[in-house]
């Protein structure tokens, strides 16, 4: 077992998977960002299995800390990007942490034949404890779409949301971060495997093949400037 912190190991995984990119990117919000986290880079079995293990490790740590309950019934991932996250996390929780937990995801359109319905996987029932997983939250739009869908299916208890990365940016209409805004609106905790400040700090100590750090002084300065403008 390594003594390295979760955020350091996760940052190394992001870099090795080429999921963390540096440059000039226009986000969905319209903001110009010097870094981008691309969930599409987790495009094979090995990477998505490893990603699920990181989610499971974070969830297990939060259960131990008392932030999440230990009797989660199902892990829910919103279609489409959340589907492999929910499946791989449920597998990792069961295989690596001894938790018997289901996975659930939604259909974009309701199926009117076969088993029908809006949900695939573990079907929701009143009183079930549901944990949401998603990749990177910018404005919280996906959460606001998903919560009514879940509540329309059954009177479930949403116990939290686990993200891969917290970008730590304030929303367009407040000084709260998207994470804090969702927590305030819905009343469940939102946590991330790592936040951008942890990732950039870790990236300074992770070296490329030629011995230079992934996060150079220039990259760090651009990130600091961006967070000074948009950070919460």
Residues labelled catalytic? 111, 113
Q: For helices 45-65 and 6-16, what crossing angle results, to 10°?
A: 160
Q: How far apart are CA 135 and CA 166, in angstroms?
A: 9
Task: Report the distance separating Cα 211 and Cα 67, nearest Å.
Answer: 39
**CA distances (Å), origin 38, targets 115, 143, 176:** 33, 19, 24
Looking at the DSSP assignment, which residues form a beta bridge with residue 213? 207
Separation of alpha carbons 28 and 9, rounded Å = 28
- Nearest-angstrom CA–CA distance, 180 and 231: 12
- The answer to whether 24 and 31 have CB atoms below 8 angstroms apart is no
The sign of the CA dihedral 209, 163, 98, 48 is: negative
């Amino acid at each position: 077992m390594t003594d390295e912190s979760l955020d350091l190991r996760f940052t190394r995984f992001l870099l090795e998977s080429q999921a963390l990119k540096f440059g000039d990117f226009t986000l969905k919000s319209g903001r110009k960002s010097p870094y981008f986290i691309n969930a599409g880079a987790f495009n094979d079995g090995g990477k998505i299995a490893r990603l699920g293990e990181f989610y499971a490790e974070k969830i297990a740590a939060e259960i131990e800390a008392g932030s999440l309950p230990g009797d989660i019934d199902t892990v829910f991932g919103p279609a489409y990007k959340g589907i492999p996250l929910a499946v791989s996390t449920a597998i990792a929780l069961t295989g690596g942490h001894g938790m018997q937990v289901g996975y659930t995801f939604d259909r974009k359109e309701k199926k009117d034949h076969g088993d029908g319905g809006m949900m695939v996987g573990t079907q929701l029932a009143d009183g079930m404890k549901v944990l949401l997983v998603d990749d990177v939250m910018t404005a919280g739009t996906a959460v606001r779409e998903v919560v009514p869908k879940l509540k329309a299916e059954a009177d479930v208890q949403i116990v939290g949301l686990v993200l891969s990365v917290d970008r730590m940016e304030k929303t367009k209409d407040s000084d709260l971060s998207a994470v804090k805004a969702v927590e305030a609106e819905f009343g469940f905790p939102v946590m991330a495997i790592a936040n951008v400040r942890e990732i950039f700090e870790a990236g300074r100590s992770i070296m490329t093949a030629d011995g230079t750090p992934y996060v150079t002084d220039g990259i760090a300065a651009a990130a600091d400037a961006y967070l000074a403008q948009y950070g919460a």
